[in-house]
Amino acid sequence: MSDREIELKLLCEPAELDRVKRAPALQRLKRGRAAGKHLHSVYFDTDKLALGQNGLALRLRKSGDEFIQTLKTETGVSGSATGALARDTGEHEARLPRGAAAPDLNRLPANLRKRIQKLSNGAALAPRLESDIRRTIHNLATPEGDVIELALDLGALKANGRDAKVSEIELELKEGSPASLYRLALDLNEVADLRIGTKSKSERGFALIRPEKPQAVKAEVLRLPHDITLAHAYAAVLRHCLVHLMANEAAALEASLPEALHQMRVALRRARSAFEIFEPAIGGERAKHLAAEAKWLANELGPARDFDVFLSDILAPVTPETAGLRKLRARAEALRAEHWENARAAIASRRYTRFLLEFGLFLAESGWQVKPKAPRLARDFARDALDKRLKKAAKLGRHIETLDNEDRHELRKRLKKLRYALHFFSSLYPDDEVKPWLRNLSEMQDVFGGLNDVATAHLILDDMSDGRALKAAAQNVIAWHEKRAARDWKGAIRLWKRFAGTVPFWCKAA
């Protein structure tokens, strides 16, 4: 039996499951009595996990007297239609004889059987992972006619002599719109501390066999079809930003990787820029609310990022090493630890989960309206949007040699917004015309970014240097970087003049 499964996974501590059981939304929507199950599952793969590495999970599950074989395919987050956070997977089930100890590939569709045989390449499929779960199932129905299965799972995964606890909620859509999953999750988030789950049980279990440290992830290149409509481009851009944000959450929260925190802030800035760029054609109060929440989160993460840069790019290069510099570094490291604790608390907060769910709901509902005078195609809108951002930057840039620090910072922000717009729309234009432009803009932004780091260092040092030794060390640090900043500013002027003299590629295309 083949089927499609759309589900939203929420993680929590075991005590939170009791709060969810008593949630008003659950009591209001449930139909019939809850059912309890004891699920013992064994996942099969090669010794090199060839199936798991390619998005397949082959499972044999015992539930009561039944033995059910399941192959899940295309694991991972889905597209904008399901809100980007809900998982959209293929599921192929077959009942096996009682006492079955291994999968029967002959019960699979021919194309999937051949795919497994090709991936395994003659290697044996053997038990690699066990899950032992106590599941409580509630069947829910919304006033709009959506049917949802809510499963409360408590148990453990075991593999390679190690185990990992399972305490999670799965909301599976049986009938209706994926938006209903987000509405229910938002209601549950009001009564319990929840986090979005992005990994399946098999993915978490196989990580016990092959532990992988979380890594920072840069945004993938966004590819829009040449004839994409403005409304569909809006959804694709926003989904792209949300996926980028979520991809770095674990590395920031669990591993405290500076680059992951930086990438989360980049994703938030890109999302805010997207709302602003599209606002003349697609706006609304919900978009403004999401942009405001993105700003809140970016501000919560900002101080930790500032101190990461301060320690690595401002203090680390300064020589010679002095007692004052060591004291300055020790104080900065203590402050960074405090700011990182605050950043992790924000990421783990109920407000952050609500922001993600509201963002996902916004995408799943696609309830925005394109304004009557807006162009139908994204390509036509992109030309004016890029022009607008270039003109804003050029207005300041034409006076670049006389700009004060505040105006330099403003020019940097305008160039950054132009770059984000270019990343959103660049696939609508020929690569050979886009790449030189992006390269020039990137070089200029790097210089402006370094200058901004020095300006931020001034503010940090003003707050930190309250003793004679620290003041002397702070003055040395500033003097060391001001020499470099003066050279960099001359370089920025040259880069701007070269950039300003280049004809925009979207004007050529027009």
pLDDT score, position 467 = 67
Give how many domains the chain has, as a whole number: 3
Q: How far is CA 42 from CA 45, 67, 130, in A?
A: 10, 11, 5
Tokens 């802030």 belong to residue: 265
Q: Does one domain contain both 472 and 459?
A: yes
Residue 83 belongs to some domain of the structure? yes
Q: Does one domain contain both 350 and 302?
A: yes
Residue 290 maps to which CATH number?
1.40.20.10
Residue 222 belongs to some domain of the structure? no
* Cα gap 273→259, rounded to integer Å: 21
- Number of neighbouring beta carbons within 10 Å of residue 365: 15
Residue 220 belongs to some domain of the structure? no
Both tokens assigned to 382: 């992109």
Which among 358, 373, 388 is the end of a domain? Answer: 373
Residue 154 maps to which CATH number?
2.40.320.10
- State pLDDT tens for residues 212-254: 889 999 999 999 999 999 999 999 999 999 999 999 999 999 9
Between 99 and 135, residue with greater pLDDT: 135
Q: Which residues of 262-273 are buried (b: 16+ CB within 10 A; e: fewer)?
A: bbbbbbbbbbbb
* Cα gap 504→421, rounded to integer Å: 13
Angle between helical axes of 468-500 and 431-464 (0-180°, round to 10): 160
- State pLDDT tens for residues 357-401: 999 999 999 979 899 999 999 999 999 999 999 999 999 999 998
pLDDT score, position 457 = 87
Please say whether the beta carbons of 440 and 498 come within 8 A: yes
Q: Does one domain contain both 107 and 234?
A: no
Q: How far is CA 509 from CA 222, 231, 379, 393, 421, in A?
A: 20, 22, 10, 21, 17
Please say whether the beta carbons of 174 and 156 come within 8 A: no
**Sign of the Cα pseudo-torsion (316, 319, 321, 322, in order):** negative
Q: Does one domain contain both 403 and 464?
A: yes
Residue 280 belongs to some domain of the structure? yes
Picking from 76, 70, 99, the residue whose alpha carbon sits closest to that of residue 88 is: 76
Q: How far is CA 421 from CA 303, 339, 381, 384, 499, in A?
A: 26, 31, 11, 11, 17
Q: How far is CA 81 from CA 329, 414, 458, in A?
A: 48, 32, 46
Q: Does one domain contain both 196 and 241?
A: no
- State pLDDT tens for residues 21-57: 999 999 999 999 999 999 999 999 999 999 999 999 9
Q: Does one domain contain both 325 and 442?
A: no
Q: Does one domain contain both 237 and 341?
A: yes
Q: Which residues pair with 90 in a beta bridge?
A: 4, 73
Q: Give 431: exposed, middle or buried? Use CB within 10 Å, 0-12, 13-18, 19+.
A: exposed
Q: Is residue 82 predicted with pLDDT exceeding 90?
A: no
Residue 216 belongs to some domain of the structure? no
pLDDT band at 75 (very low <50, low <70, confident <90, very high): very low
Taking residues 310-324, report their average pLDDT.
90
Which among 178, 209, 240 is the end of a domain? Answer: 209
* Cα gap 274→290, rounded to integer Å: 11
Q: Does one domain contain both 256 and 165?
A: no
Q: Does one domain contain both 157 and 263?
A: no
- State pLDDT tens for residues 131-178: 999 999 999 999 999 999 999 999 999 999 999 999 999 999 999 999
- pTM here is 0.93
- The segment with the largest mean pLDDT, out of 54-68, 337-351, 414-428, 478-492, is 337-351
Beta strands 126-141; 162-175: pairing state: unpaired
Q: Does one domain contain both 411 and 306?
A: no
Q: Is residue 458 predicted with pLDDT exceeding 70?
A: yes
Range of the domain at 251: 227-373
Picking from 129, 87, 148, 112, the residue whose alpha carbon sits closest to that of residue 1 is: 112
Q: How far is CA 20 from CA 27, 31, 136, 186, 510, in A?
A: 10, 16, 12, 12, 56
* Cα gap 115→51, rounded to integer Å: 9
Q: Does one domain contain both 66 and 23?
A: yes
Taking residues 60-79, report their average pLDDT.
78
Residue 218 belongs to some domain of the structure? no
- pLDDT averaged over the chain? 91
* Cα gap 130→133, rounded to integer Å: 10
pLDDT score, position 451 = 82
Residue 348 belongs to some domain of the structure? yes
Which among 352, 373, 394 is the end of a domain? Answer: 373
Q: Does one domain contain both 369 and 382?
A: no
Q: Is residue 510 predicted with pLDDT exceeding 70?
A: no
**Sign of the Cα pseudo-torsion (56, 263, 232, 235, in order):** positive
* Cα gap 266→297, rounded to integer Å: 11
Tell me the CA end-to-end span of the chain in Å, nearest whole number. Answer: 52
Taking residues 81-92, report their average pLDDT.
81
At 324, the amino acid letter reads G
Please say whether the beta carbons of 157 and 130 come within 8 A: yes
Residue 219 belongs to some domain of the structure? no
